Amino acid sequence: MKDRDTTQTAVAVSGDWLIVPGPLNEHRWRWGRIAEVLPEPGGTVRYRVRWIGDVHDSVVVPPEGARVEKAADWPDPAGDAIGVWPG
């Protein structure tokens, strides 16, 4: 398996995935396809994201523990992408 940069500070581009962990021990993570990167003048990065199972976009600042996965590594997440944590 190749090494991937999956840290929160990874440079995301449109089409990548934002993966946000759920509550501890519940194994519920949210996967959202990044539609747009929205940089702020102060350096905070926001993403316009379409979450799996949702028909609307959300603008989010990645919370602690979130990671970015490259679209090339995950063209489609498995199942409903709940409880899946790429390693």
- Residue 35 confidence (pLDDT): 95
Model confidence at 17, pLDDT cuts 50, 70, 90, reads very high
The region that residue 79 occupies, defined by phi over 0 for left and psi between -120 and 50 for alpha, beta otherwise, is left
Model confidence at 8, pLDDT cuts 50, 70, 90, reads very low
Of 2, 27, 13, the residue nearest 68 (C-alpha):
13
Please give the single-letter amino acid code of residue 38.
Answer: L
Residue 30's DSSP bridge partners are 20
- Residue 48 confidence (pLDDT): 96
| Residue 68 CB-density burial (10 A; 0-12 exposed, 13-18 middle, 19+ buried) | buried
The whole-model pTM stands at: 0.72
Distance CA 80, CA 54 (A): 11
Write out pLDDT tens, residues 26-63: 667 888 999 999 988 788 899 999 998 888 999 999 98
